[in-house]
């Protein structure tokens, strides 16, 4: 008879895949430097982040594993929620892999489409292999063959560099699910007659879980400070530099690359917005506790917890702006204003 896998087993299997992909970055980042500068900088910064904080990466991954091991033993509801975490985690990783795959395909297919439809030979990237002129027949194909390798390795390298960020930030989002189950356990206890004995224990457990969530977000902010900052800044600069290329040169792939950069920009910001929503959910969840049914000491504990939840731990960009869709829209508006100003001067 086939036994059902435990949520912790599924998590550790997923973690082993992430670790394998992350180790390969050391090899891929060497070729990543031949892709556009914004991608190069992101790849290097993500690699440096892993080299600077290896212990913290391992600790957060281990902490999540311990959560799985602990709560899968606490009842069917907790186990089902952890299994749901596994499924959602796989969906998020697959969705991000799809984004990077689509971006690579779009970048590679643009010059092919132009060659088939119009017979025009355009480079995939604006870089040349020394000794092979792009305007010669063989030089064109050699350069594009090299660019194909660079794009594929860059796409995989950037995705592998994002795996730990996706793993940790998405689990930060999932923490609210456990809070809801803990609050439900407290409410069930309050309905019983002998509620006094376990009331304080469950309230303290809820407070500890909230503290763990806040500390986890603080560690994520420290761990991904440079990764997120480099991603947003380099993506923005990539958009601006590509727009400048469009104004000065004939490169059809520029339009595809701009679209790709916007995908990368909003992919991170959507994840940051989801963390913001989770912070609001934590605050609302604390409000939903039937505090009036608690004794005075536990009421004071919940009040302190509620005060602390008013100062959420959002994921930030360089510690200045929150990582959110609203920030991405600000960046988009700033890019639009700058481009319009340049076009106005260009037409004069």
- In angstroms, the CA 165 to CA 85 distance is 16
Q: Which of 25-39, 177-191, 245-259 has the lowest mean pLDDT?
A: 25-39
First vs last Cα of the chain: how many Å apart?
78
- For the stretch 8-60, pLDDT in tens is 888 888 888 888 777 665 644 433 333 456 677 777 788 788 888 888 888 99
Does position 1 have pLDDT exceeding 50, yes or no? Answer: no
Partners of 321 in beta bridges: 317
- In angstroms, the CA 266 to CA 212 distance is 28
For position 348, what pLDDT does the model report? 61
Average of per-residue pLDDT across 326-344 = 87
Cα-only R_g, the chain: 25
Average of per-residue pLDDT across 79-86 = 90
Query: Which of 190, 192, 193 is CA-nearest to residue 202?
Result: 190
For position 50, what pLDDT does the model report? 80
Question: Confidence class of residue 197 from pLDDT cuts 50, 70 and 90?
Answer: low
CB 155 within 8 A of CB 107: no
Question: Confidence class of residue 325 from pLDDT cuts 50, 70 and 90?
Answer: very high
- The CA dihedral of 127, 133, 137, 142, to the nearest 10 degrees, is -50
Q: Across all residues in the chain, what is the average pLDDT?
A: 82
What six digits make up the tokens of 297?
A: 């000491």
| CA count, 13 A, side-chain hemisphere, 231 | 27
Integer CA distances (angstroms), 88 to 77, 159, 314, in order: 16, 18, 21
- In angstroms, the CA 201 to CA 308 distance is 20
Partners of 317 in beta bridges: 321
CB 156 within 8 A of CB 28: yes
Average of per-residue pLDDT across 258-283 = 88
CB 96 within 8 A of CB 160: no
- For the stretch 92-135, pLDDT in tens is 888 888 888 888 888 888 888 877 887 777 777 766 677 777 67
């Amino acid at each position: 008879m086939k036994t059902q896998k435990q949520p912790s087993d599924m998590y550790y299997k997923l973690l082993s895949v992430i670790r394998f992909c992350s180790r390969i970055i050391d090899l891929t980042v060497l070729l990543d430097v031949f892709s556009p500068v914004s991608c190069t900088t992101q790849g290097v910064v993500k690699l440096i982040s892993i080299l600077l904080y290896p212990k913290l990466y391992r600790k957060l991954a281990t902490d999540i594993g311990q959560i799985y091991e602990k709560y899968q033993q606490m009842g069917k509801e907790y186990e089902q929620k952890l299994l749901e975490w596994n499924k959602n985690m796989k969906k998020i990783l697959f969705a991000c892999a799809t984004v990077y795959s689509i971006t690579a395909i779009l970048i590679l297919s643009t010059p092919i489409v132009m060659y088939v439809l119009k017979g025009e030979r355009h480079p995939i990237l604006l870089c040349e292999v020394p000794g092979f002129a792009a305007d010669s027949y063989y030089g064109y194909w050699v350069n594009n063959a090299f660019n194909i390798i660079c794009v594929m390795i860059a796409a995989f390298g950037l995705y592998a560099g994002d795996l730990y960020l996706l793993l940790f930030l998405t689990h930060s989002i999932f923490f609210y699910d456990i809070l809801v189950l803990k609050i439900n356990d407290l409410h069930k206890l309050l309905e019983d007659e002998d509620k006094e004995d376990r009331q304080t224990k469950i309230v303290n457990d809820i407070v500890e879980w909230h503290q763990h969530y806040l500390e986890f977000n603080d560690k994520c902010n420290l761990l991904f400070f440079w990764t997120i900052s480099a991603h947003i800044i380099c993506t923005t600069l990539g958009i601006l530099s590509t727009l400048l290329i469009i104004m000065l040169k004939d490169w059809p792939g520029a339009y595809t690359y701009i679209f790709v950069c916007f995908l990368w920009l909003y992919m991170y910001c959507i994840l940051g917005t989801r963390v913001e929503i989770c912070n609001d959910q934590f605050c609302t969840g604390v409000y939903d506790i039937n505090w009036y049914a608690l004794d005075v000491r536990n009421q004071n504990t919940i009040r302190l917890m509620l005060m602390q939840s008013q100062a959420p731990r959002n994921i930030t960009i360089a510690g200045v702006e929150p990582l959110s869709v609203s920030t991405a829209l600000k960046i988009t508006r700033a890019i639009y204003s700058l481009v319009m100003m340049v076009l106005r001067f260009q037409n004069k």
